[in-house]
A and B are shown apart, each in its own frame.
Chain A
Amino acid sequence: MADEAAKPATPAVPYMTRELKSGLDLTDSTVTDEFDERSWDMVVSLGLSRQLTTGKTLVDLADAGMDDIVVCTADLGRPTQVETFGRRFPDRYFNFGIAERNMIGAAAGLAAVGYLPVISNYSFFLALMGVENIRNDICYPGLPVKMVGTHSGIAMGFYGTSHHCCEDIGALRTMAGLNLMAPCDGTALSSALKGLIRHPEPIYFRVGRGREAVVYDTAFDFRIGGSNTLREGRHATVFAIGNLVKAALDAADILADEGIEITVVDMYSIRPIDREAIRKAASEHGVLISAEEHNVTGGFGAAIAEVVAEEGLVAKLHKVGMPDQYAILGPPTHLYAHYGLDGPGVASTVRTALSG
């Protein structure tokens, strides 16, 4: 480890530009014109997280007359971008400070007296720290609380293990009465919230850091138990969630040049899962690949494996995901390449699956 660390550092990549800054609301920023083009503070950095559309979507819904929406966060209103809602509707925005379990219980209380709470927080603090409160305060009473767990998987890169979340699907997939959705970009998240805001049961939406590549140009009918087939091919099917949807599409391009045609399905509904899509892939070619930014043990791929086994399907499943270990540190894109959670990584697994 010391030898690895002693390697010369690669220079920081400049990702902040005057153009990017010019499109942002910098009212609260301290980075004025006298500062460097590349300098940024917390206000400026929010410009990078464009796929976190929760705040804007909830403002739209509230403007359209949904008076019962209330938003809860735990000192992460800015990073998760629901402060947009707080500015527009300050009397319906509750910031609990860094007190996640208190927030979850209070959201249950708000739901119990007739409000429609939406929690927005980092997934590792919401789903992992708050797992017992989610179970006892929200799921068991069956309260219609909507939870948006952001920055899931290893999107936080060098922030380290405490800020990685490769266990939330495993933990929450066992919660009776909880729906588990994975909108893969900002349009999907917006579609999910608009489509499911009135769903009578609790829902956990697993989303990324907000810097994800765009998959969807237009809104779609986001359904519990649904999926979207984004590309069709005859050799294998990749069932993907989150960041891996774009990776699977990239893999399809890479493989097409080699004469390999794959189907790519955005399996945005993890629980309940679209069993028919799995049956279809098994009957067509039986070569299944699951792709997730989560531990391959007990996660989304395991949910597919259950369907294959329970229904006696003739298929072999190859899982793309985090190995059953804690991630090393590094910048997110470097980590994705390291763990094969990108186009080349998915393509490599597809080749292995077809050669077996």
Chain B
Amino acid sequence: MSSRALKNVTREDLKDKARLIRRETVRLTDICGSGHYGSSFSMAELVAALYYQFMHVRPDDPKWDDRDRFLLGKGHAAIGLYPVLADLGFFPQSWLDSYTRLHSPLGDHPDVKKVPGADFSSGSIGHNLSVSVGMALGLQRKGSPGRVICMMGDGEQTEGQIWEAAISGAHWDLSNLIGIVDINGAGSDGDPQATMATEPLVDKWRAFGWDVIVLEDGHDLEQVQDALNRALNGPGDKPRCVLAYTVAGKGVSFMEGTWQWHLGFLGPKDLERAYAEIEAGDIG
């Protein structure tokens, strides 16, 4: 088990970064004409804490061998990841302004061939935990301190490949592998638990040999920091899974807890409402 130093940031800093994620998600969706608000907002505190406090990356050397890797299995939330990568300096801010336009490197899903800082492509649900297993296996064999973090969706838990990957991660004692499940209760056809129930996830991941950390409120930064610290720096020789209970659309009142805003678009007046709520919000 490798552990790495935490970066020195305040809770207010992280709140601001989560605001940045939400504000830019709204702005980029306006450029594009449609966007996954709900999935981006639900992971905002987790992504902010990961990139600004926990992960060791080098924006000026995005392919640094010993970096921590972040794979977004729920790739449709990439709109919430790009602003962070731009803010850290992986690519120019101006790229964001051309989000999804012809020739843009930035599409609805992250693309490892086009986006510096994106550690793998996704968009086909269920693949990235397997890729993460391979990365963790290779890094472990090389003795690298790099950790591999795979953020999945709750709907993604129905993919058989998730459980094939889970079995192999435990079998090879990949203590450098961290799964996070963003349990935001929203999918294409509604609440994933109503479409196809996967709970109790805590029992399933434990039975598959992982150390499980239940994060009861994925928007409470104190809880988020504690859970991520245990997951990334805790003892043990098993892979760890953070079950993060979150709220789809968190931060914009009329989107919170709905599946309808998994994908959508805001007209001018509603856009202003959303910006105002995000700026006034004090999440975390």
Contact = CB atoms under 8 A, between A and B. Distances in A.
A163 B123 contact: yes
Contact of B97 (A9, A13, A129, A157): A9
A152 B187 CA distance: 21
Contacts of B144: none
A158 B260 contact: no
A160 B270 contact: no
Interface of B: 30-34, 75, 91-92, 94-95, 97-109, 111, 114, 121-126, 155-156, 158-160, 187-190, 192, 195-196, 198, 254, 258-271
Contacts of A87: none
A5 B265 contact: no
Contact of B95 (A6, A13, A161, A331): A6
12 contacts: A1-B103, A2-B92, A5-B104, A5-B105, A12-B30, A12-B31, A13-B33, A75-B188, A97-B196, A99-B196, A331-B102, A334-B102
Nearest to A38: B267
Nearest to A159: B108
B32 A12 contact: yes
B58 to A, nearest CB: 19
Interface of A: 1-2, 4-13, 15-16, 28-31, 35-45, 73, 75-79, 83, 95-99, 101-102, 124-125, 129, 157-163, 328-331, 334-335, 338
Contacts of B263: 41-42, 45
Given A36-B271, A329-B104, 16 more contacts: A2-B91, A16-B265, A30-B260, A30-B261, A39-B265, A41-B260, A42-B263, A75-B195, A97-B158, A97-B192, A162-B123, A328-B103, A329-B105, A329-B107, A330-B103, A330-B104
Contacts of B99: 9
A36 B264 CA distance: 13
Contact of B265 (A40, A102, A159): A40
Contacts of B260: 28-31, 41-43
A162 B159 contact: no
Contacts of B106: 5, 329
A99 to B, nearest CB: 5
Contacts of B123: 159-163
A7 B111 contact: no
A30 B101 CA distance: 28
A73 B190 CA distance: 13
A42 B36 CA distance: 10
Contact of A101 (B34, B114, B160): B160
Contacts of A44: 264
B231 to A, nearest CB: 24
Contact of A98 (B109, B158, B259): B158
Contacts of B192: 75, 97
A328 B267 CA distance: 28
Nearest to B125: A98
Contacts of A160: 107-109, 111, 121, 123
Given A98-B156, A101-B160, A162-B122, A2 B107 contact: no
Contacts of A15: 33
A127 B58 CA distance: 39
B109 A162 contact: yes
Contacts of A2: 91-92, 95, 105
A98 B30 contact: no
Nearest to B37: A41
B105 A1 contact: yes
B121 A30 contact: no
Contacts of B126: 98
B127 to A, nearest CB: 9
Given A7-B98, A75-B158, A330-B102, A42 B264 contact: yes
A39 B92 contact: no
A83 B189 CA distance: 9
A163 B109 contact: yes
A330 B32 contact: no
Given A75-B158, A78-B189, A159-B109, A8 B97 contact: yes
A160 B254 CA distance: 29
A124 B124 contact: yes
Given A36-B266, A99-B158, A101-B160, A158 B259 contact: no
B108 A5 contact: no
Contacts of B31: 9, 11-12
Contact of A102 (B91, B111, B160): B160
A8 B103 CA distance: 12
Output the residue of A7, A13, A41 with the most chain B CB within 10 A: A41
A343 to B, nearest CB: 19
A162 B107 CA distance: 11
B157 to A, nearest CB: 8
Output the residue of A5, A15, A35, A77 with the most chain B CB within 10 A: A5
A129 B100 CA distance: 25
Contacts of A5: 94-95, 98, 101, 103-106
A330 B189 CA distance: 26
A259 to B, nearest CB: 33
